[in-house]
Amino acid sequence: MFKKILIANRGEIACRVIKTARRMGIATVAVYSDADARAPFVRMADEAVHIGPSPASESYLIADKIIAAAKQTGADAVHPGYGFLSERTSFAEALAKEGIAFVGPPVNAIAAMGDKIESKKLAKAAGVNVVPGFVGEIEDTEHAVRISNEIGYPVMMKASAGGGGKGMRLAYNEKDVREGFEATKREGLNSFGDDRVFIEKFILNPRHIEIQILGDQHGNILYLNERECSIQRRHQKVVEEAPSPFVTPKMRKAMGEQCVALSRAVGYYSAGTVELIVSGADPTGESFYFLEMNTRLQVEHPVTEAITGIDLVEQMIRVAAGEKLSMTQDDIKIDGWAIENRVYAEDPYRGFLPSTGRLVRYNPPVDGWTDDGAENGRRGVDGIRVDDGVYEGGEVSMFYDPMIAKLITWGQTRDEAADKQIAALDSFEIEGLGHNIDFVSAIMQHPRFRSGELTTGFIAEEYPEGFHGAATSDETKANIAAVAGFIATARADRARQVDGQLADPLDAPAEWSVKIGDRRFEVSLVGEDITVDGAPVDLVMEYTPGDRLVEAEVNGEVLGIKIEPTRNGLKMTTRGAIHLVEILPSRLARLTQHMIEKVPPDLSKFLICPMPGLLVALHVAEGDKVEAGQPLAVVEAMKMENILRAEKSATVKKVNAAAGESLAVDAVILELE
């Protein structure tokens, strides 16, 4: 067995590998950039080596620096995690020349499956179903248009070396191809150093199913069931679960055996994932097609660990050390259900714009990296697991992926796992930047998600006008109002006790007018009795002025509520929705109807940068006439390009920025008239 492993990665996956290596008695080495000098994975490792500036292209993507660090520290193996160098054949070859083991598959398998174009050719030759498309070299945009017209719309343009949702564009017509082809090439080049693109038919009502493969160097290859990853945004996975609510035992066996055969054809060993696309319109479940094989560990591997009880990182290390698998296919079972939500630094209330900055407050529902035993390590504590690589006071940098953490829950049933997600998300505290906690909570509650009727178009179909918070019933609003009234009374009592600020009229009984959205509730507290609009309420909760998070049971409904004071009330966030709650003494509330409403200024004449980023392209100049929907500029942030379009027909009056400039959020790019 290895004595020391270097982790050629960062963030939560580096922490993940370190935890398993530590349990196995193996020393670890972290490598880090300037941006990660104080990151948790650096502190967790036994040793740490600085490898360069913050951009990945100057640190984590420089193989020579990684190898030098391994030699310097005497590491006899390198685990690449995912992304960065994990699927670079040149990196694995360079390690082999230095006598350093690569904790991953053989070079020939990486080469065969790592290139999406070549892997499709191999899969087709092996008799595996592949999606119709063009797998040769595409010369330019005009060539891309001709190919797309021949295949038939919609088509998907993909960077050949892409992954993680980057370098992908869906085109419904020729205009989309012309607008998106060059952007796809640029994203492929910027993220993976390869600007080749291929085009394939987009399957309607598609479900994204993937099979986890595990093999050793002695010819044993197993499939560890499937994961469903259909809920995606911009082709980036958001929710993953195992098993899939769509896959039958017969389908699972057929998929698994086909994926094992493909793996065997390329001499695969270590952990890997074969990704398939399944037509949700086919009730037999037999219409599944090969998409690609990821020759590495997947971000969503914890859900497989939760239902199988197998530590995939441990198995990767043992396989790399030459050990045989200790289990057979008959040993692979499905125990319960697991769901993973990716907590991203993005603002769903503002069109999912990337959000960078300091984590002023970071308090996950459970600690992700305590040594709490093998079973808890795979399923967390009470079925809740958090894999993260951030810390309170640290920054989410513009240089790397926007994922803050992964929240994994396990239950005996799918509904139990989803319910645990909702409760854990309610208690997950993040302040200082935008995040998608409310959004994934809303998905967990959505009737369509609960029914299992999923496709990769779920988010676009269910939130066509964007996300504005989870739907909240009138009953839940009334329960929130009861909590707000209880808090208002506690705060009033506290204020009176401090220095007599409040006079007798606000002594108990306390009567409050609580406005939530367009609903107003009259809340009254007399001793331990509380009513909302005259109806008695059964409320159990504890609150001390200053608490940021409370748990309340109101008429049998359990609510975890994050609290933030506002000028005239509270910002109360629970169950995937933000409620701006106005709280006034009832006698004063009647006077507010006479106040003049302040109208916000009209900003539609400005093109405003919605996030910190790089202005990649500016398509217009002063004096140009533009039409509604016309692309005006392209801003790159978090490795993704964002097209900014005109909201209405106008003329460009003034241009305030130039391509190549770094822009702050709310910077005015140009002015229209």
Catalytic residues: 292
- If you ran DSSP here, which 8-state letter would residue 433 be given? S
List the beta bridge partners of residue 50. Answer: 32
Q: Output 279-282 pairs: Cβ under 8 A, ≥24 positions apart.
A: 279/203, 279/204, 279/205, 279/206, 279/207, 280/205, 280/206, 280/207, 280/246, 280/453, 280/454, 280/455, 281/204, 281/205
Token code pair at residue 599? 């109208």
| C-alpha span between 316 and 305 (Å, rounded) | 13
Token code pair at residue 528? 């331990």
| C-alpha span between 1 and 320 (Å, rounded) | 9
Helix H or strand E encompassing 448? helix 447-451
HSE value, Cβ hemisphere, 13 Å, CA-based, for 492: 22
Query: CB 213: neighbour CB atoms within 10 A?
Result: 26
Residue whose entry in the numeric block shows the structure tokens 């009513």: 531
Query: CB 68: neighbour CB atoms within 10 A?
Result: 15
Query: CB 81: neighbour CB atoms within 10 A?
Result: 25
Token code pair at residue 42? 């650096």
Do the Cβ atoms of 106 and 267 come closer than 8 Å? yes
| C-alpha span between 658 and 314 (Å, rounded) | 50
DSSP 88-109: -HHHHHHHHHTT-EESS--HHH
| C-alpha span between 610 and 617 (Å, rounded) | 15
CA-based nearest residue to 484, from 584, 351, 391, 342: 584
